[in-house]
Amino acid sequence: MPPKVKITKKEIVRAALALVREQGAEALCARSVAGALGCSTQPVFSNFSSMEALAQATVRAAYEVYLGFLKDEVTLGKYPKYKCFGMAYIRFAREEKELFKLLFLRDRKGEELTPSADFNASVEMIMETNGIPRAVAERMHLEIWTCVHGIGTMLVTSFLPLDEALISEMLTDIYQGVRARHLQELGR
């Protein structure tokens, strides 16, 4: 009898991520993941206690893909670092529509919402660049990120076909306007 092929947790998550990319989060189920792997559902449930656990692992994997977009944009060095984060978020929306939906357009009711690593890094950049207190930097980032998210959402839903040059100008205008208002309030 030939040895059984062991399907790893990593392979299952990779298959789940590919499935979401191709068909959207609603296609994620044990049977579809097993089909993509060419196996029964047994390996899925041997590696994950529930579909919820696999869904959470898939969200974490999608977030890692998103962080790769941030790293790549910063490495390119085309924009100031804070702007790179906004441009990467928008590029992620354009290039990874289903993963963007999974991460940023799902219902969060019942989830514990804690600031993510990219949120904290963004706030730190604003504080350092402008010499302002954390509370002001958090407010600035929230205002700017809301606009960036809106642009990303317009792209992912094909609402507006914005090009990179226009998006870059828009982000500069948004940043400069929000920054000017907050610095004025601080008497600078």
Measured CA to CA, the distance from residue 156 to residue 159 in angstroms comes to: 8
The overall average pLDDT reported for the chain is 93
In words, the CATH class of domain 1-48 is: mainly alpha
Handedness of CA 150, 154, 160, 163 (dihedral sign): positive
Q: Which residues of 110-134 are buried (b: 16+ CB within 10 A; e: fewer)?
A: eeeeeeeebeebbbebbbeebebee
> Which pLDDT score, from 0 to 100, does residue 113 have?
72
Looking at the chain, which residues constitute the CATH 1.10.10 domain(s)?
A: 1-48
pLDDT tens for each residue of 93-147: 999 999 999 999 998 888 777 767 788 999 999 999 999 999 999 999 999 999 9
> Which pLDDT score, from 0 to 100, does residue 115 have?
65
pLDDT tens for each residue of 23-76: 999 999 999 999 999 999 999 999 999 999 999 999 999 999 999 999 999 999
> Which pLDDT score, from 0 to 100, does residue 74 have?
94
pTM: 0.90
pLDDT tens for each residue of 74-83: 999 999 999 9
Measured CA to CA, the distance from residue 159 to residue 105 in angstroms comes to: 15
Half-sphere exposure of 28 (CA within 13 A, CB side): 25
CA distances from 74 to 84, 108, 130, 151 (A): 6, 28, 19, 20
